[in-house]
């Protein structure tokens, strides 16, 4: 059985947490497509050309613990605007989406570009302030010098870059189910996602 769930949304909206929970609940495979761009971004920080990094990406590269740093996140957002990088990674994602047993992919252009024919499309969002607070709590535990102001500025800058890029901008698919997690608990957000998937099965 093939069943594809596309989950898109901006940084720190909760789509990663929701995607993992949904995949576990339905027994689907899960791919955090943002990790692909983070892996490419990490390689550029080491001096590799972005297109070369994308074309030679290995699944092992996705297991690097350093991919969650703020520096890599910013690098990922920068390489994601390069059309040749996106083209190199599309086949990887589309192949994953078609795997037998069902698949959940989360990112920024899954429902609009990677899997426009996905069985279910969700767009998970939250206010910039809410997302910045979540990211601040995550980052400040590792780096006490992190400030709320800087994190909010980074979130706003990334939103602008992701939504205004010429290739595959961040936006909900026309038929996506919107889930605003600003005032939701994790459990409530996961239930909303699962309800949408059950309705489509």
Judge whether 34 is annotated as a binding position.
no
Judge whether 83 is annotated as a binding position.
no
User: What is the mean pLDDT of the segment spanning 186-196?
Assistant: 97
Mean pLDDT in the chain? Answer: 93
What's the total number of domains in the chain?
Answer: 1
Q: pLDDT tens-digit profile of 73-111?
A: 889 989 988 999 989 999 889 989 999 999 999 999 999
Write down the pLDDT at residue 5: 98
Write down the pLDDT at residue 43: 96
Q: Please, which pLDDT band fits residue 142 given cuts at 50, 70 and 90?
A: confident
What's this model's pTM, rounded to 2 decimal places? 0.85
**Residue 166 backbone dihedrals phi, psi, to 5 degrees:** -70, -35
Judge whether 13 is annotated as a binding position.
yes
Write down the pLDDT at residue 91: 85
CATH number of the CATH domain containing 180? 3.40.50.300
Judge whether 27 is annotated as a binding position.
no
Q: Where in the sequence is the domain holding 46, given as residue range(s)?
A: 4-200
Judge whether 10 is annotated as a binding position.
yes
Judge whether 24 is annotated as a binding position.
no
Write down the pLDDT at residue 126: 97
Side-chain-side CA neighbours of residue 150 (13 Å)? 10
User: What is the mean pLDDT of the segment spanning 165-192?
Assistant: 94
Judge whether 15 is annotated as a binding position.
yes
Judge whether 157 is annotated as a binding position.
no
Judge whether 200 is annotated as a binding position.
no
Does 66 have pLDDT greater than 90?
Answer: no
User: What is the mean pLDDT of the segment spanning 192-198?
Assistant: 97
175-199 burial, b for 16+ CB within 10 Å, e for fewer?
ebbebbbeebeeeebbebbeebbee
Cα distance between residue 120 and residue 177, in whole Å: 8
Indicate left, alpha or beta for 168 from its phi (over 0: left) and psi (-120 to 50: alpha). Answer: left
Cα distance between residue 109 and residue 111, in whole Å: 6
- Percent of the chain residues past pLDDT 90, beyond the cut: 76
């Amino acid at each position: 059985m093939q069943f594809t769930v596309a989950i898109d949304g901006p940084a720190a909206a909760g789509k990663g947490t929701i995607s993992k929970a949904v995949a576990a609940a339905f027994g689907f495979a899960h791919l955090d497509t943002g990790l692909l761009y983070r892996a490419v971004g990490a390689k550029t920080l080491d001096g590799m050309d972005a297109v070369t990094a994308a074309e030679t990406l290995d699944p092992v590269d996705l297991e690097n613990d350093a991919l969650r740093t703020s520096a890599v996140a910013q690098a990922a957002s920068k390489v994601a605007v390069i059309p040749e990088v996106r083209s190199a990674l599309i086949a990887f994602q589309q192949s994953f989406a078609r795997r037998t047993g069902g698949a959940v992919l989360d990112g920024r252009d899954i429902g609009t570009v990677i899997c426009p024919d996905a069985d279910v499309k969700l767009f998970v969002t939250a206010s910039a302030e809410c997302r910045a607070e979540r990211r601040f709590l995550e980052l400040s535990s590792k780096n006490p010098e992190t400030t709320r102001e800087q994190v909010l500025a980074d979130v706003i800058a990334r939103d602008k870059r992701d939504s205004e890029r010429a290739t595959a901008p961040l936006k909900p698919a026309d038929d996506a189910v919107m889930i605003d997690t600003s005032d939701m608990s994790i459990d409530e957000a996961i239930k909303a996602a699962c309800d949408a998937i059950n309705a489509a099965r």
